[in-house]
Amino acid sequence: MLVSKALNYINTIITDTVESYKLSEDSKDDSGNYIVHPLESKDDTNKLEALYFGLRDAALNTTPLTLLESNDSTATEFKKISSTEFIRVPTEPTIDGVLDTDEGLAFAVIYKALSFLWVGYNGYASDADAIYASYNDAMRDYFMHRDSDTVYTETIFFRYSNDGSSWHDNYVDGDIYISFKQGDGVWSSAIRFVGKDGDSGTGSGATTFLELTDTPDTYTAGKFLAVNAAGDAIEEVDAPAGGAEPQPFDGMNGPSGNIAKNFKEIVGNYYYVDVGGDLSFDITKDADGNYEIDLGKLYTIEFIPNGHNVTLAFDAMGDKTIDSTQSIVMVDILFDSIDIYIMTIRNFA
């Protein structure tokens, strides 16, 4: 593969990553200033260095025939594979050159290069390892026959596909699967090696929920998600009957005052409180001062201002003021006698 083509694949993947990052909340600091993505500083020099690391990694983990030398060669030895042969050091890639490896390993080299460029691309290293494994299986048979007493006449074949079922001998843009065969033997199973949906190698995997293979293909309004009966996928189901509606939170003494509630009575429910003034919140304790709730249980209450600006007073968290366009969702958990609060203020607007 031409080095320029390998760089094109790398640049396409990096561009997709950076563009997605710019649209995310992670790209801004607390003051709204843009945070530069690490990949934006990578130039051709960095990418060529990463490709060279990928070439060396492929030479270390496989036996590329392109790099195979006999002992009478003057090439620099990279690793010994037998008493008579060695793998030479790969040639450093240049923009106008060719990747110094077998064609079947070219995308593995690209994947390894991506993993060297950014820690967020570590998943590509696993994809490269999968190609290594299939390649090594084919090479193992090759060397076994070549080194036997019989003359080895079989050839290692490669084929490519954009769907894993329709195959052709030469790679074309949009192909995302590769397969190997030795001589007249059986083709290996399809190995996904680049891109998604035949998009010339973005390699980014599923980017939306609907692209996953074990989830619904479309969204249906009003449906809920649930694990199917077989326990191997997600499916859409109707909303559960009963128990889903918020329930009024009793124990409130007028529009302002105190709330005292034994949480044991509402385990498993989501409660809300309409408030129109200052409110003090408490959890009922027994005569010995212990909370009358189950350790490790979560209890959720939503305070809705009902069109007013209100202040809620919490013993452990101080006063919290919410306006008429907001509500406070409080999750309370008692663990080993330590009362832990998680509070979220959300907007209706």
Averages of pLDDT over each 10 residues, the chain, 349 residues:
93 92 89 90 93 93 91 91 89 94 92 91 90 86 67 70 88 85 82 59 53 71 75 74 45 42 44 55 55 55 69 66 75 53 63
Query: Hey, is 127 helix, strand or coil?
Result: helix
CA distance 317 to 118: 40
CA distance 191 to 131: 7
Whole-model pTM: value is 0.44
CB 295 within 8 A of CB 334: yes
CB 78 within 8 A of CB 67: yes
pLDDT digits (tens, 9 = 90+) for 130-142: 899 888 888 887 7
Q: What are the backbone angles phi and psi of residue 164, rounded to the nearest 5°?
A: 85, 0
CA distance 260 to 225: 35
Q: For the chain, which residues make up each domain, given as ranges?
A: 3-206, 208-239, 247-347
Query: Hey, is 113 helix, strand or coil?
Result: helix
Identify the burial level of 144 via C-beta atoms within 10 angstroms of its C-beta, where 0-12 means exposed, 13-18 middle and 19 or more buried. Answer: exposed
